Chain A
Amino acid sequence: MEPILTTKDLSRHFGGVLAVNLVSLSVYNRQVHSIIGPNGAGKTTLINVITGRLGASDGQVLYQGRDITHRPVHERVRLGISRTFQITSIFMGLSVQENVRIAVQSHLGGSWSIFKARSGLSEVNAKTQAILERVGLTDVLRQPANSLAHGDQRVLEVAIALAGDPKVLLLDEPAAGMSPAETDQISELISALGKEMAVVLVEHDMEVVMKISEHITVLHQGGVIARGTPREIASDKQVRDAYLGGDQWAPLTSV
């Protein structure tokens, strides 16, 4: 099977610092592919380059075989690449419903109709409702996003990312700041999503990573030091050294 997204020797430097160093990886459809590594390994920078938030200093990003390395952000999104951020990035002043609705509208079209009411786009409304039902946010539809609890905001962000019918969904620490119960819920959601599309997950919570990933890439100081299944990664000496036996590693030793 052909990978849906690949990076070929992707690099990004800031001044003298090589944040992403010749990273090559392949992401397959209907798979949860996790990217892990100690702090400062370059995970978020990698996501930023793949999604276009940052430019690549070298190398390529290929999506469905096409080179998208220099395409602007909004074009990549339209092609089917969606993401969430480590620090929640949603439309705080708008209602929960509008947060998702505008994303759906952007995807399905209708943004140029100036003589219709916003609520007049029936297809958009239906899809918005469907997504909100799926993530379980229907009871807070009309509330402004900034009034939601942190965990709900993170879920809302995933909902927004889903609005574009993405084929590749990149999630940057979706469970950050969540309670164990919320983390379980979102893990289930991500796992389910991983059966429909390609999911790239950056996470620090090793339990989550080990439980739901099919494939793991380990980064250290910007470069790939290991790839494999959760079991393979758990027993990889290089990976263990990279984490230097920190707390993050504890759950893995029990796999």
Chain B
Amino acid sequence: MRALKDNPAGKLILLGVLVCLVILPFVLPNRFYVRLVNEIMIYALLAMSLDVLLGYTGLLSFMHNAYLGIGAYSTGLFLMHAWSGSVWLAMLAGVLFTLAVALPVGWVQVRTGGLAFALLTLAFGMMFYTVAWKWYPVTGGDDGLMGLPQPTLSLLGINLASSGNSTAMYLFTLGVVLVCFLFTWRVIHSPLGAVLEAIRENEERASFVGINVRRYKLVGWMLACGLAGVAGSLYILYRGYAGPGVMGAFEGAGVLMMVLLGGMGSLWGPLVGAAIFIFMKDFLSSLTQDWEIFVGVIVILLVLFLPRGVAGLPDLLRRAKAE
């Protein structure tokens, strides 16, 4: 797939999608779909952050959603107990807290090789899930955080809307996700991104060109977790609620599947993957209670036949045409 900057058709499509997204809440009468797309955008951000980790640094995480959860809970708790006035402050608090948690965990994890790293993300992820589930006094246990205040969205001192307004929240989410996407795109294409890619390609050779692999793995990890934390803040602001369910193993597999579906190593792939996954989940769970079998089957089929996901389709088609 050619790089976006060389692909004028790609740029046009992206612009088109952006325009559609902006006008969506004003043209769609059905609030349900506005909220669905809002959710897609949040998970798109989460999936993109996992791609930074997996597609660019080469580290697999089975429960990256744990950091969305941590971001959500900390933002919510900040709003409830510290300062319910500002959305921005709450988001900042949530992201900083997520980074603070991710740092020691990441530090331990990067000391190990790729496989142990992946297993550890599962173990630590389950640990965070357990904490969210059992620490009733703080997290509300199984019930989750409820009764969240709805601060006003303000920009540069001007009060724009209440965060309870779903259109306002939608546009806010779109704006934040867009900024995060551009930021990540910038970092990936920077010299720092080059270092991460080198680590992904050949960790040993990377250290033998003088790269402190552990340090840069930690950088990639922190970046990915920070973005997940942002997604978490957006999540709880949009939903007004956060429960331990969002941090579970199955949801973790879901995020991984979004990246696989869309194609790892291409920043826009996971965005597409998130959209497909959420639509599919919405559709399948209305059909049957056992839809997790389908998720598993689709993961298996993807791995066997379409490991590079949607992003890999153009190459596949090109090769098929050539035969």
Contact = CB atoms under 8 A, between A and B. Distances in A.
A122 interface: no
A174 B282 CA distance: 57
A121 interface: yes
A220 interface: no
Contacts of A103: 209-210
Given A102-B195, A111-B195, A164 B209 contact: yes
B212 interface: yes
B198 A91 contact: yes
A213 to B, nearest CB: 24
Nearest to A102: B198
Interface stretch (B42-50, B149-157, B184-192, B291-299): B184-192
B226 to A, nearest CB: 13
Interface residues of chain B: helix, strand, loop or mixed (majority): helix
Contacts of B193: 114, 118
B204 interface: yes
A114 B187 contact: yes
Contact of A82 (B195, B208, B212): B208
Contacts, number: 90
Contacts of B198: 91, 94, 102
Contacts of A111: 191-192, 194-195, 211, 216
Given A91-B198, A91-B202, A160-B205, A118 B210 contact: no
A110 interface: yes
Nearest to A163: B209
Interface in A69-93: 72-74, 77-78, 82-83, 89-93
B209 A106 contact: yes
A69 B192 CA distance: 29
B210 A107 contact: yes
Given A114-B186, A114-B187, A160 B209 contact: yes
Q: Which of B191, B198, B205, B216 has the most CB of A within 10 A?
A: B191
B239 to A, nearest CB: 31
A117 B209 contact: no
A98 B210 CA distance: 15
Contacts of A74: 207-208, 210-213
Interface string A96-118: 00100111011100111111111
Q: How large is the interface on A (under 10, 10 to 19, 20 to 34, 35 or more residues)?
A: 35 or more
B183 to A, nearest CB: 9
Given A111-B191, A114-B186, A114-B187, A77 B202 contact: no
A89 B201 CA distance: 10
A116 B209 CA distance: 21
Contacts of B211: 74, 106, 111
A252 B162 CA distance: 86
A48 to B, nearest CB: 11
B197 interface: yes
Nearest to A116: B190
A247 to B, nearest CB: 32
Given A73-B208, A106-B210, A164-B209, A91 B191 contact: no
A18 to B, nearest CB: 25
Given A102-B194, A160-B205, A117 B189 contact: yes
Interface string A222-247: 00000000000000000000000000
Q: Which of B187, B205, B207, B216 has the most CB of A within 10 A?
A: B205
Nearest to B209: A103
Nearest to B190: A114
B190 A78 contact: no
Contact of A51 (B192, B202, B208): B208
A89 B205 contact: yes
Given A74-B213, A102-B209, A90 B190 contact: no
A78 B210 contact: yes
Contacts of A110: 191
A91 B201 contact: yes
Nearest to A117: B189
Interface in A189-214: none
Contact of B205 (A51, A90, A98, A107): A90
A202 to B, nearest CB: 16
Contacts of A53: 204
Interface string B159-192: 0000000000000000000000000001101111
Interface of B: 186-187, 189-195, 197-198, 201-202, 204-205, 207-213, 216
Given A89-B202, A111-B211, 14 more contacts: A72-B207, A74-B207, A77-B208, A77-B209, A94-B201, A102-B197, A102-B198, A105-B194, A111-B194, A113-B192, A114-B187, A114-B192, A118-B194, A121-B191
13 contacts: A73-B207, A74-B208, A91-B202, A92-B201, A94-B197, A102-B195, A103-B210, A105-B194, A111-B192, A113-B190, A114-B187, A118-B190, A118-B194
Interface of A: 51, 53, 72-74, 77-78, 82-83, 89-94, 98, 101-103, 105-107, 110-118, 121, 160-161, 163-164
